[in-house]
Amino acid sequence: MTKNIAVLIGSLRKDSFSKAVAKSLMPLFPSDYNLEIVEIGDLPLYNQDYDDLDQVPAAYTTFRNKMQTMDAVLFVTPEYNRSVPAVLKNALDVGSRPYGASVWDNKPAEIVSVSPGAISGFGANHHLRQSLVFLNMPTVQQPEAYIGNVMNLLDDNQAVTNADTLKFFQVIVDAFDTLIKRY
Ligand code: FNR
């Protein structure tokens, strides 16, 4: 049966390297997966008052309904100030509420951090991992996916074409596939 994977990108930038990496990872999944980039940039900043049923922003409902149709989540994110970009943390918070109705519960996840720098988004990767523990999302442990010096990996069309990098990307995807099939 086809499984749906949401791809959440922690950058709204038009020419985002993270988005470019996500787009190079997506075709590597087996054909029985349907991958979709779910937009998170239109979600108002989470406010717990919105949990009052009369006040729920329409964008929250659309996002939560979409995420309910997903079987797993691939996070591809840059690092901002050694942590998770606010837009992605906001999406996590929105999806986690109202209390008891989290869209994340028990969904397998994969984290790929991306950076033009050498530290490769390690801080974002692990801060995100901390939230996923609380959200009860079984997350790929190995291999860890830190994509550093990303500008050297993209060609003129913002695609990853280097054979060694694609080989590593395939290992990342295969580990996620194995985790998903266990659930
Ligand atoms: C950054 N950048 C950055 N990079 C990094 O490796 N560690 C960091 O802590 C930060 N901090 C940071 C904060 C803010 C506010 C910005 C705007 C940027 C640089 C960042 O990795 C770079 O801009 C990437 O290109 C952002 O990812 P996308 O948009 O290309 O996916």
The whole-model pTM stands at 0.98
Residue nearest to atom 1 of ligand 1 (CA): 80
Residue nearest to atom 18 of ligand 1 (CA): 80
* pLDDT value at residue 13: 98
User: From the alpha carbon of 78, which atom of ligand 1 is closest?
Assistant: 27
**pLDDT tens per residue, range 61-74:** 999 999 999 999 99
Report yes or no: 85 and 124 within 8 Å, Cβ to Cβ. yes
> Does the interface ipTM go beyond 0.85?
yes
Strands of 53-151 (E only): list them: 72-77, 109-114, 145-147
Residue nearest to atom 13 of ligand 1 (CA): 80
Report yes or no: 79 and 17 within 8 Å, Cβ to Cβ. no
Mean pLDDT, the chain, rounded, equals 97
User: From the alpha carbon of 117, which atom of ligand 1 is closest?
Assistant: 6
Tell the residue number behind the tokens 């906001």, with chain if given: 90
**pLDDT tens per residue, range 8-62:** 999 999 999 999 999 999 999 999 999 999 999 999 999 999 998 788 999 999 9
Q: Which domains does the chain have, with CATH numbers?
A: 3-182 (3.40.50.360)
H helix or E strand, kind and range, residue 180: helix 163-182
Best residue among 80, 119, 122, 150 to mutate for probing ligand 1, ranked by most atoms within 8 Å of CB: 80
**What is the distance in A from the centroid of ligand 1 to the CA of 169?**
21
